[in-house]
Amino acid sequence: MHSSKIKLFYLSCFILGSTFIMAGCQKNESHHTEAQAASQPITQPAEITFNGQITTFPISLNNCSGNNCPEFSVKRLQSNFKFIDQTIEQASLDQLKQILDSSDATPSMNKAVASTVQQSQDSYVEQVQQYADAFMSLDQELKKLSANGNISLHIEPKIIKQTPQMVVVQLSTDSFLGGAHGSASQQYFNFNLKTKQQLQLSDILEQGKEKELEKLAHDQFEKWIKRENLADSISDYEEAWAFKLSNNFYFNDKGLVLQYGEYEIGPYVVGMPSFTIGYEQLVGVVKPNYLPKNM
């Protein structure tokens, strides 16, 4: 009996000791795992990188040779962000259609030819070629009318600003299709790389601040009228050319630039006016992530 108690005592000691040893091992193992995890470098999210270039592609100007050819040039943006490329391509196609549809010379013919462009199935290059064919048809019609001078049309995108969060693309267009003078336009496209969307003016403004921005822009408009001596008074000028807030915008190193087109807020002679609103005036109007970090 006494011997059995001794054996039981030793067995209990063995089990208890084993438990402490296992607990100690698990504790050491836990510390080792934690230390190993702490020594591992923290993986940072990959920085979004925009890579884009402006390229040309072959366009055939049929039935044309030498100095008798009109000028037709369309360049394209090719990047690693497909939605940006597609947006600029569609804007270029819209410009081509608008220019050909709005020509003063034989307008019925222009609209008929431009409307034949198949926008649903054909590739971008094929659609541009169809507009080039329409352009050449217009050129031939003008030559039959003995119109002087060659017509021209140029469209070119340009990357004007690039940050890890945002890319700004300028789309410049100029054309001369006969008449008293040519025409030009500058469109700006602001892209958020994180959300993969094109930003509108409302996207960059604080809630309910559009009227405040409009007032700041109108102040620039008034200064411009006075500086250029466009009218005897602001009210006289606005009777003919009422002010409106442009949705065509971009940011430069000085502030928010509002770009206007021909005939938008003034006659042809004033060109394409733009107003810059300084960053210091935009605090509380524009969302903080679109302002310089020190503001």
Indicate the pTM of the whole model: 0.81
Judge whether 196 and 81 are in contact, CB under 8 Å: yes
Residue 173: pLDDT over 50: yes
- Per-residue pLDDT reduced to its tens digit, 255-271: 999 999 999 999 999 99
Alpha helices (H) in 40-123, listed in sequence order: 82-101, 107-114
Token couple for 2 = 């006494």
The DSSP code sequence of 182-194 is -EEEEEEEEEETT
CA distance linking residue 119 with residue 93, whole number of Å: 9
What contacts 260, CB < 8 A, 6 or more positions away?
246, 248, 266, 272, 273, 274, 275
Rounded to 5°, the CA angle 113-157-104 comes to: 35
Question: If you average pLDDT over residues 23-34, what whole number do you get?
Answer: 50
Which helix or strand (DSSP H or E) is residue 228 part of?
A: none
Query: Of the spans 12-16, 176-180, 263-267, which averages the highest pLDDT?
Result: 263-267
Of the candidates 275, 261, 289, the one whose C-alpha atom is nearest the C-alpha of residue 205 is 289
More confident residue, 164 or 30: 164
Return the beta strands (E) in 15-96 as ranges.
52-55, 71-74, 76-79
CA distance linking residue 171 with residue 157, whole number of Å: 4
What confidence category does residue 20 fall into, taking pLDDT thresholds of 50, 70 and 90? very low
| SS3 label, residue 137 | helix
How far is C-alpha 214 from the geometric centre of its chain's CA atoms?
Answer: 22
CA distance linking residue 190 with residue 198, whole number of Å: 6
| SS3 label, residue 257 | strand
- Per-residue pLDDT reduced to its tens digit, 200-240: 999 999 999 999 999 999 999 999 999 999 999 999 999 99
Judge whether 74 and 58 are in contact, CB under 8 Å: no
> How would you class 230 by CB atoms within 10 Å of its CB: exposed for 0-12, middle for 13-18, buried for 19 or more?
middle
Judge whether 79 and 50 are in contact, CB under 8 Å: yes
What is the end-to-end Cα distance of the chain in Å, rounded?
Answer: 88
CA distance linking residue 152 with residue 76, whole number of Å: 18
Please name each of the domains of the chain with its CATH number. Answer: 52-199 (3.30.565.40), 203-290 (3.90.640.20)
Residue 4: pLDDT over 80: no
